[in-house]
């Protein structure tokens, strides 16, 4: 039951990264791909009706994590106190930047929120990546399952740890370039003409950065967290996850410079899902490994809620998620196709 809920939470988090990832990515690249108000509006309109719903995946995943693994929720959220608060402030900035921008037609008001949209998107990408890096690297848990990390110490993966060190920063950079590529591919898919062309160029440049960073982070991860290698050796079927990521990268390459934009975007989705599931598989059954003493790590077993709660949770979770899925299919179909520069909305 614990393993099932681990998978369900992982799926929800992956859905969040794939969906809100393109909102963040679009925010990062919108200055690069849109040169005037009309083009900017096209980029905003490509995410306008969906971004809020995409963000709900973070809340729903957080809530599900809370009730299924309260021990993990308590320990990790209080231990990562400072970076989480920064993430909250950035999420506020991002939401407000999108929502308030078009209320006033002024050459002072709009660029202000455009900058907020870009800044929050870029920093959130780095922070989410660094957060994943922290989970893989492990944190200094004590015997009662508590820890507290400052934002940084000496940027080394030894001694007194900080949230940011060269390993977690490199994962943050990987997340940044991956979401730049993801957002650019989304914009290329949803827009036309110049904007779409420029977005395809950004995605093509980002692709090389993603490949380089993926190789680098993979090598670093093997050195930093021996658990990953051990899990892969013990269960060879786990190679499907990294293979999915590689397949995604190849699909992006195979989109043939903008001729098959849907294949490019789906490839990027596959890449992100492959990377996240590889990480989850790599540290399983841990959800928060400990260092320097690995035996203090939090696993799905020592953080899960009671068996009855987990069982009864399935009774509402499954119909609830089917409903949510139905809304998403409906929304994405309703707002499907290329966005037009004229007409209603953002």
Partner 1 sequence: MLRSRRWCKISIVDALALHRFHFAFTVTYHYLFPQLTMGLALLIVVLKTMGLRTGEDAYHRSARFWARIFAVNFAVGVVTGIPMEFQFGTNWAPFSKAAGGVIGQTLAMEGVFSFFLESTFLGLFLFGERRLGPKGHWWAAFMVFLGSWLSGFFIIATNAWMQHPVGYVIAANGQIALSSFRALMLNPWTLWEYLHNMAGSVVTASFVMASVGAFYLLGGKHKPYARIFVRLGVTAGLVASLLLPLPTGDGQGRNVARWQPATLAAMEGLFETVEGAPLAILGQPDVARKRLDNPLEVPRMLSFLTYQRWMAEVRGLDAFPEDQWPDNIPLLYYSYHIMVGLGTIFIAVMALSAWKLWRGRLFRCRPLLWILMLMLPFPYIANTAGWITAEVGRQPWVVHGLVRTAEGASYNVSAGNAMFTLIGFMGVYGVLSILFLFLVYREIEHGPEPSAPPEELEFAVKR
CB nearer to partner 1: pick between 107 and 233: 107
CB nearer to partner 1: pick between 135 and 177: 135
Single residue of 143, 233, 315, 336 touching partner 1 by CB under 8 A = 315
Give the closest residue to 126 by CA, choosing from 161, 158, 86, 76.
Answer: 86
* Cis preceding-peptide flag for 292 (omega within 30 of 0): yes
Query: Which of the stretches 101-109, 116-124, 234-242, 254-262 binds partner 1 when contact is defined by CB under 8 A?
Result: 101-109
Q: How far apart are CA 258 and CA 273, in angstroms?
A: 22
Minimal distance, residue 122 CB to partner 1, in Å:
18
Q: Which residues pair with 298 in a beta bridge?
A: 288
CB nearer to partner 1: pick between 31 and 328: 328
Dihedral pair phi/psi, residue 305, rounded to 5°: -75, 175
CB 225 within 8 A of CB 289: yes
Q: Applying CB under 8 A, does 16 fall inside the site for partner 1?
A: no
Single residue of 236, 316, 333, 337 touching partner 1 by CB under 8 A = 316
Q: How many CB atoms lie within 10 A of CB 314?
A: 13
Minimal distance, residue 317 CB to partner 1, in Å:
7
Helical H segments across 150-306, by residue range? 166-190, 193-224, 226-234, 240-253, 261-283, 300-303
CA distances from 214 to 56, 117, 228 (A): 28, 26, 15
CB nearer to partner 1: pick between 31 and 66: 66
Q: Which residues pair with 299 in a beta bridge?
A: 286
Single residue of 185, 227, 305, 339 touching partner 1 by CB under 8 A = 305
Q: Applying CB under 8 A, does 31 fall inside the site for partner 1?
A: no
Minimal distance, residue 324 CB to partner 1, in Å:
4
Q: How far apart are CA 346 and CA 342, in angstroms?
A: 10
CB 149 within 8 A of CB 196: no
CB 14 within 8 A of CB 273: yes
Single residue of 308, 333, 336, 337 touching partner 1 by CB under 8 A = 308
Number of residues that bind partner 1 (CB under 8 A): 68
Q: How far apart are CA 46 and CA 337, in angstroms?
A: 10
CB nearer to partner 1: pick between 16 and 281: 16
Q: Applying CB under 8 A, does 5 fall inside the site for partner 1?
A: no
CB 15 within 8 A of CB 57: yes
Q: How far apart are CA 17 and CA 284, in angstroms?
A: 20
Single residue of 7, 50, 209, 253 touching partner 1 by CB under 8 A = 50
Contact set for partner 1, span 123-152 (CB under 8 A)? 145-148
Single residue of 1, 11, 52, 294 touching partner 1 by CB under 8 A = 52
Is 289 exposed, middle or buried, given 0-12, 13-18 or 19+ CB atoms closer than 10 A? buried
Q: How many CB atoms lie within 10 A of CB 40?
A: 21
Dihedral pair phi/psi, residue 105, rounded to 5°: -90, 90
Query: Which of the stretches 68-76, 176-184, 214-222, 234-242 binds partner 1 when contact is defined by CB under 8 A?
Result: 68-76
Minimal distance, residue 161 CB to partner 1, in Å:
14
CB nearer to partner 1: pick between 49 and 258: 49
Minimal distance, residue 90 CB to partner 1, in Å:
10
Give contact residues for partner 1 (rule: CB under 8 A): 48-50, 52-53, 55-56, 58-64, 66-68, 70-71, 73-79, 81-82, 84-85, 88-89, 91-92, 95-96, 99-100, 102-104, 145-148, 305-306, 308-309, 312-313, 315-317, 320-321, 323-324, 327-328, 330-331, 334-335, 343-346
């Amino acid at each position: 039951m614990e393993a099932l809920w681990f998978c369900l939470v992982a799926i929800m988090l992956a859905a969040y990264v794939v969906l809100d990832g393109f909102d963040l990515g679009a925010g990062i690249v919108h200055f690069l791909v849109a040169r005037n108000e009309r083009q900017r509006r096209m980029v905003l309109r490509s995410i306008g009706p969906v971004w809020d719903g995409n963000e709900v995946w973070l809340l729903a995943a957080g809530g599900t994590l809370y009730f299924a693994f309260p021990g993990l929720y308590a320990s990790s959220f209080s231990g990562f106190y400072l970076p989480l608060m920064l993430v909250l402030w950035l999420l506020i900035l991002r939401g407000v930047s999108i929502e308030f921008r078009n209320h006033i037609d002024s050459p002072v008001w709009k660029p202000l929120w455009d900058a907020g949209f870009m800044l929050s998107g870029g920093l959130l990408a780095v922070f989410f990546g660094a957060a994943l890096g922290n989970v893989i690297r492990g944190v200094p848990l004590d015997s009662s399952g508590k820890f507290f990390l400052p934002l940084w110490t000496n940027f080394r993966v030894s001694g007194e740890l900080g949230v940011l060190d060269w390993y977690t920063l490199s994962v943050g950079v990987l997340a940044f370039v991956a979401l730049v590529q993801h957002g650019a591919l989304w914009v290329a898919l949803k827009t036309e003409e110049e904007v779409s062309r420029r977005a395809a160029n950004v995605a093509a440049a980002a692709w090389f950065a993603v490949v380089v960073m993926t190789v680098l982070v993979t090598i670093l991860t093997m050195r930093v967290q021996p658990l990953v290698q051990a899990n892969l050796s013990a269960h060879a079927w786990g190679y499907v996850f990294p293979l999915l990521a590689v397949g995604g990268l190849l699909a992006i390459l195979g989109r043939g410079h903008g001729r098959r934009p849907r294949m490019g975007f789906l490839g990027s989705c596959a890449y992100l899902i492959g990377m996240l599931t590889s990480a989850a598989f790599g540290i399983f059954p841990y959800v928060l490994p400990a260092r320097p003493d690995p035996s203090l790590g939090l696993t799905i077993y020592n953080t899960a809620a009671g068996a009855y709660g987990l069982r009864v949770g399935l009774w509402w979770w499954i119909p609830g998620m089917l409903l949510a899925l139905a809304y998403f299919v409906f929304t994405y179909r309703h707002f499907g196709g290329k966005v037009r520069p004229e007409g209603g909305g953002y």
